[in-house]
């Protein structure tokens, strides 16, 4: 039976004390393709409540990072990751829901993201929330690095 620990999961804004845990989550999830630790500290300075973590029994189990696109009402979901030992427990879904709720509160009109076409788990997660594919770009991140662009329309 699938374990559901939603009741014990706290979704809250990132704080500087979370830096190492988020960085470890990043490395575990994306290896050398992950953001460096200093980037998360800088993201904290500029992203505010669009940078959320999931806390489970005092430990950071995952994060989602969004950023408002310059001069627009479009937020980009830049990254989401959950520690391997906490996956398939609804944590990414709660983080996504948390980010969308923040977006509703600041009158954002849409949320965009990119995802690797092979990342079926992440694509399913986003589709569950109503994200739809709007584009597919070959070599998005360089040679042989295609990405699907997905968009969610925020209903305030």
Give contact residues for ligand COA (rule: CB under 6 A): 29, 80-82, 87-93, 115, 119-122, 124-125, 128
Q: What is the DSSP string of 123-144?
A: HHHHHHHT-EEEEEETTTTSTT
Inter-residue contact 101 to 152 (CB < 8 Å): no
- Which residue's Cβ has the minimum distance to ligand COA? 121
C-alpha to C-alpha distance for 51 and 110, rounded to whole angstroms: 17
Q: Per the structure block, which two tokens stand in for 80? A: 């989401």
Shortest approach of ligand COA to residue 107 CB, angstroms? 25
Closer residue to ligand COA, CB minimum distance, 82 or 99: 82
CA distance 18 to 85: 18
Least distance to ligand COA from the beta carbon of 95, Å?
8
Q: Choose between 95 and 102: whose C-beta lies nearer to ligand COA.
A: 95
CB of 148 to ligand COA, least distance (A): 9
């Amino acid at each position: 039976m699938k374990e559901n620990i939603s009741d014990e999961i706290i979704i809250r804004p990132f704080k500087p004390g979370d830096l190492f845990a988020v960085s470890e989550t990043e490395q575990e999830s994306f290896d050398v393709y992950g953001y460096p630790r200093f980037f998360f500290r800088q993201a904290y300075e500029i992203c505010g409540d669009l940078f959320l973590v999931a806390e489970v029994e005092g430990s950071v189990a995952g994060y989602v990072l969004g950023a408002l696109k310059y001069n627009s009402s479009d937020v980009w979901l830049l990254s989401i990751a959950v520690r391997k030992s906490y996956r398939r427990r609804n944590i990414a879904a709660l983080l996504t829901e948390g980010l969308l709720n923040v977006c509703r509160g600041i009158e954002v009109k849409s949320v965009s993201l990119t995802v690797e076409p092979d990342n079926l788990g992440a694509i399913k997660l986003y589709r569950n929330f109503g994200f739809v594919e709007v584009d597919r770009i070959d070599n998005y991140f360089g040679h042989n690095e295609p990405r699907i662009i997905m968009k969610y329309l925020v209903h305030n």
